[in-house]
Each structure stands twice: as C-alpha cells, then as structure tokens.
Structure 1
Amino acid sequence: MQPVSSASNVTVVARSPGLRSGEVEVVVTLPTYKRPEQVLATLQSVIGQRTSRRFAVVVMENDAEWHAGADAVAPLFENGTAPGLLIIAHDRGNCCAYNAGWATALAEFPNLRFIQVIDDDEVATPDWLETMCRSAGSLGADIVGAPQVPLFHEPGHEHWADHPVFAPPYRETGVVPALYSSGNLLIARRVLDAMPRPFLDLSFNFTGGGDSDFLSRAAMRGFTLGWCAQAPVMETVPARRLKPDWIRSRSLREGVLSTWVEKRKRGGSPAARLRVAGKSLALLAASPVRGTIRFARTGSLSNGLYPFYVALGRLLAEFGYANEQYRQAEKN
C-alpha cells in the first residue's frame, strides 16, 4: 500500500476514485485489527446497503505493522467498489481507532449528518443504514443503538444468546435512558461537534468501556438516546468466548467499567465515591438472591453467577483492578 496522505497519527492509504465528499450524508466507520477475512465480509455488507442516502465508509486499520485488514479491503477502495477512505490509525488501542475514524469523517465529509459504527466481527443486514437513520428521526434521538445478534461458532450454542454478556440491553424500539456499546450505533453530527476531543477517553484504550463512558457523558450533556430493535447486525462469536474463564473475565470487566463510568458521572467528591462503593456492596449482598432467580429461570450456572461477578468487579475496581482484554485484541 502506498499512502495517499498522512497526519501525525493517521495515514490515508486508499481513497475511492471520484469520491464526492460534499454530497455524503452518512459515514460508516469500521475499525479493524487482525481480522482480514471478517473485515472484508463486514465491508461488503455495508457496501450492499439498500438506501438512497449518499454514504461513505471509513475503515480504520489499527495494526500499523502488519495491516492485514487494510491489505484485504484496499482493492475495494482503489477500484471504487467501496466509497470512502481506508486509513491506518497508528496509535494502538480501541479508543484510538475510533477517535481516528470519527475525526477523519468530520474532516473529510463537511456535510455529513450521521456517523454509523460497525465492528469488524459484525455483518449488517441490508436495510441497516436506512433503518437506523429513520429511527433517529422518528424517535427524535441524537444517538441510536441497535442489537448485536450473536452468531455462534458451533451449532447447539444458541442458548448462550440469553446470557447477559451477549443479550441486548433492550428488546423494544424507543427512547432509552442509557446505551453501553458502540458495536452498532448511530451518532448525529451535532453530538460529535459538541463533545470534547478525543471523543473516547484513552484510559479505556485496552479495557474497553470508552464507548460506554462517551455515551454516558453525551447523555449528561442532554443528548437523547434511542434504541432501534429493527436494525440488528450479526456478530460472530468464536468458541473461545463460551469458555468459563472468558465469561467470568468479561463479567468482572463489566463490573469494573460500571464503577469507573459511575464515578465519572457522580464526580470525584468523597461522598460520591462512598455512594458508588455502597452501591457495589449492596449489589454484592444481593447477588446470591439475584443469581438464584437467574439460575431458576435459565437453568444456567454461568447466568446465575453473572450478578456476583459484576458486583465483585465493581468492588475490585475500588482497589485498582483493570482487565485489559483489548491489550491482545485478536485473542479477545
């Protein structure tokens, strides 16, 4: 790949010929790291969207050394099959990749109205883009989330879809109090114009949770959040994510991130810190009852243990515990 242009932490390595940047209404940002086959499938699903809206794609390769994902998708940009840009985000980390993509979209497409986000282990349904944009209008929402439907590596594992680490936070379309993931998300331009940069806090770079923190801060600024149940993406779930140690680690991580985000939301006063710790202790005390109810309903021990691990993760966060699952993202 020969770079087209570069900045201090971003290199543009491919730009589709004849790209009319000023006509683009929606930009889909797609980060990738060591998943060449999957990012190609994701990009092809985005290219095939059924919509009359002018849209472009920004793929953010976060493996500057080997750039296998960029090598896989570059021909689609170079021959004009994929409208948009392929960039290298040189600074490693989940948050750095997102920040590079969003900043590039704002700089390159002056008239965009929405940024949509999809990850490189997901495939969009054909009406995904149009449905998300319409939902933003019908709900009066500034940010819209939608389901990430798990596709399990092996048959017979479909029951895991109801486990909290895989299940969507909402089932019905509507305005919601909180969103937690950027894996399937629409963000109005006005949100990014109002939020400070970098958009995602780099302290979450390898733990995850930068998206949840960003969404929490956006809600605190008064932006309306919505959920669109009709715009799912299909997320590939490898077999390793069904192992007990991965489920336990992810559950603990969700507890840790919950504490971090809540502390930011409440502020740093001693009273606020005590309230957060008190809530964590209360959740830990309630976890046996909540877990028993979950186990009785699902018959799954892993599901039943989830409230305990989340509460334990919240408390561990008080002592500096951080699970950097994205330090080796290809093994996550």
Structure 2
Amino acid sequence: MAARISLIIPTQRRPGPLALAVRSALAQQGVDPAELELVVVDNDSVPSAKAAVERLATEAPFPLVYVHEPSAGVANARNAAMEQAEGELIAFLDDDEEAPPHWLASLLAVQARWDADVVFGPVRARAPARIVRHRAYLEQFFSRSDPAAEGLIDHYYGCGDSLLRRAALVDPKRPFSPERNRSGGEDDLLFGALQRAGKRFAWAPEAWVWEDPSPERLALAYTLPRAFVYGQGPVAHCAAADPPDWAGILRWMLIGAGQAIVYGLLALILWLLRRPDRAFMMDRAARGLGKVFWGKRFRINFYGRTVSDNAGQDIASDS
C-alpha cells in the first residue's frame, strides 16, 4: 500500500544531526505507521549518507527511503525527494531539527481541521552552552514563532517544519524552482505562488521542533547576510507576480530604505556603547538593505556548494 504521508529530510554531510533528525521522525506517535514513509535525500556529490541511512532503516517502523541527488542545490534536493515520495501529504523536517513525538500528529490535525494546503509550526533554536556572545539574538534568529493561535494565517514561512498538500501544487513532482538552488528561498517562491493562487495556510502552535544550528552558523558573519536575503523576500515576491507588482516593489524599497537608515543608526550607537543587544538592530538594518538591493546581482549564495568547498556550509535545508 502506498504511503499517505511522506516525511522528507534533505541533508548534506551532516551525519550527527541527520541521525538525530531521522530518529525523531521515526519515533512519531499518534499516526498509523502503515500510512507513513520517510525519504532522506542526500545532496552530496558522493553518496556519503547512504550507509548511515541504511543503518537507521533497520530501526524504522515504516519505510525509510534513501535518495542520492548529486546535482548540488537546495531546490534539486527537495525536488528529488518529491519525485520519490508517494504521499499525498508531505511533511518537511530539516537535518538540523529534532521533532518531538507529537509533531506530525499536530500538523495533521491542524491540516484536517482547517482544510489547509500548507501548515507551519514553531521552531525553537537551541545554541550550545559555549555560545555566550549574542546568544539571545542567535537563538531568536534561528527560531520561528507566531502570535497567532491555531488557525488560518495570511503569510508563510520556510519549508522546515511544514506540511504540504501535494494536490495544491501545479507541479506535484518538481515544485521547487532551480533558480534558487544556490541562494535559497526556493520555498518562498513556491509558497508565494500558492498564496497568489488562493491556497490556504495554517499555523499549528503545538507542532514545534527543536533546531540545532551548525556551529559555523552561530555568528553574525552568517546571520547578517542571511538577514539581508530575508529582507529581499517581500520585494522578490512582488517581482515574481504576473504582471510584476511595481507599486509593491516601490513600497517595500521605501520601507527598506527607512529601516536601513533608522536601524543602522541605532546599531551604530549601540555598537559605540558596546551594548550586547546591538545585533538585533544590525539584523533589522540588514533586512532593510535587502529590500533596497533585491535584484539578482545582489543575491547571496548559501547552498549548492560542491564536495571540495568548505564542509558544513552547504546543507540542503532552509528553516
């Protein structure tokens, strides 16, 4: 019998975190194992995760499928998993996330109650104890929260900790745009298109997961460029409309310019005062700059590196 629900975990050269993520997915409760499958897609140029996944498969109460996608890029990885997955509902978990046993059941319950096409849950980042500098900012940066109670929402988040109804997709097998293979944001493009098509998004506050960011990401040198890219998101959303929403583009660029100036000045003052909370203002200024400089020439690549590049900076996942 084909699985009704497919869990997908993309990975690239992160054996320790991957094992934690996979074991948490295999330990889900409140869902019939006969309806489940887990697809792990390895986006390394060589099948480096294959042996580990095969070992984990011996512990699995439902099918664990290994997919090797050697073509680098986060969209390539997600599409390879989608092609292999059999489920009509697709749950995404990143390889640096750990899901509590109730996670999947909570996503499914909200999807059913609100007839949602996509459901998102909270992410709770946890930094190692050795991280002291900018700890509060870093944990907030990698977390996801929403003040809304359970129910429909008018905005969207990234793929990590989400549930997607395949029937909502124009292309049910390869829905993610390869245009974003290196920069990330392939999920933003997809969910933005679904929003314009009138699809329903829901928030599931009980469907939370832990996130353990890799050590090299726990620094302003990573988060501020990433904040810049996040700032580009709403402008790129307007530009991707057919026809492009030029009024929206101009509005967001003006908002971004104001944010860059105001928060940039506040960040400078806090930096001169050596205030530990300056990182929050720096983040907001970077997001403002991203709204101003949003075109392709300003895109920053975070994904799609080859095996010869620095390990640990090429994970095919995006929270």
Task: State if a TM-score over 0.5 links the two structures.
Answer: yes
* Counterparts of 2:252 and 2:31, CA distance in 1: 48
1:205 corresponding residue in structure 2:
181
Match of 2:19 among 23, 37, 40: 40
The residue that corresponds to 1:52 in the other structure is 31
Give the C-alpha shift of residue 323 in structure 1: 0.3
Structure 2 spans left out of the alignment, 5+ residues: 306-310, 315-319
Q: Secondary structure of 2:126's match? A: strand
Q: Which runs of 5+ in 1 are unaligned?
A: 1-20
1:251-290 superposed matches below 5 A: 251-265=227-241, 267-268=243-244, 272-273=245-246, 275-289=248-262
Query: CA contact under 8 A between 2:8 and 2:39: conserved in structure 1?
Result: yes
- Contact 2:138 2:218 (C-alpha < 8 Å) held by counterparts: no
Deviation at 1:279, TM superposition (A): 2.3
Query: In the TM superposition, what whole-angstrom CA distance separates every residue of 1:148-197 from its partner, at most 9, and x where no partner exists?
Result: 2101123565523664x3242513322111112001110113213x3466
Aligned 8 A contact 2:123 2:145 in 1: no
Q: Write 1 or 2 for the structure with the bigger share of strand.
A: 1
8 A contact 2:120–2:202 mirrored in 1: yes
Corresponding pairs, count: 299
Whole-Å separation in 1 of the counterparts to 2:53 and 2:227 = 34
What is the aligned partner in structure 2 of residue 61 from structure 1?
Answer: 42
2:112 to 137, 142, 165: 137
Q: Compared with structure 1, are the counterparts of its residues 318 and 90 closer, same or farther at alpha carbon in structure 2 (3 Å cutoff)? A: closer
CA drift of 1:326 comes to: 1.2
> Residues 196 and 127 of structure 1: is their aligned pair in 2 closer, same or farther, counting only changes over 3 Å?
closer
The 1:278–1:113 alpha-carbon spacing in structure 2 relative to 1, beyond 3 Å, is closer
SS of the residue corresponding to residue 213 of structure 1 reads helix
TM-score (structure 1 length as normaliser): 0.81
Paired with 2:265 and 2:242, the residues of 1 have a C-alpha distance of 31
Amino acid paired to 1:314: K
What is the percentage of aligned positions where both structures have the same residue? 20
What TM-score does the superposition give when structure 2 sets the normalisation length? 0.84
Q: Which has the higher contact order (CA 8 A, sep 6+)?
A: 2
Residue 274 of structure 1, CA deviation: 5.8
1:52/1:90 CA distance change after superposition, 3 Å: same
- Residue 129 (structure 1) shift: 0.8
Q: Deviations over 1:303-323 (max 9, x none)?
A: 112222112122222372110
Match of 1:311 among 284, 288, 307: 288
> Residues 114-145 of structure 1, C-alpha deviation per residue, up to 9 Å, x if partnerless?
11000111111111111110011122211101
Cα separation, 2, equivalents of 1:70 and 1:148: 27
Task: Call closer, same or farther: CA 1:82–1:38 in 2, change over 3 Å.
Answer: farther
Other-structure match for 2:317: none
Match of 1:331 in 2: 313
Asked if the contact 1:154–1:239 (Cα under 8 Å) also holds between the matched residues in 2, the reply is no
Q: Would you identify which runs of 4 or more consecutive aligned residues in structure 1 move more than 6 Å?
A: 291-296
Distance 1:91 1:186, change over 3 A: same
Q: Would you say 1:241 and 2:217 are equivalent positions?
A: yes
Q: Which residue of 1 aligns with 2:56?
A: 76
1-side partners of 2:226 and 2:129: how far apart?
A: 20
Q: 1:41–1:215: structure 2 CA closer, same or farther, 3 Å change rule?
A: same
Counterpart amino acid of residue 233 in structure 2: L
Q: RMSD between aligned alpha carbons?
A: 2.6
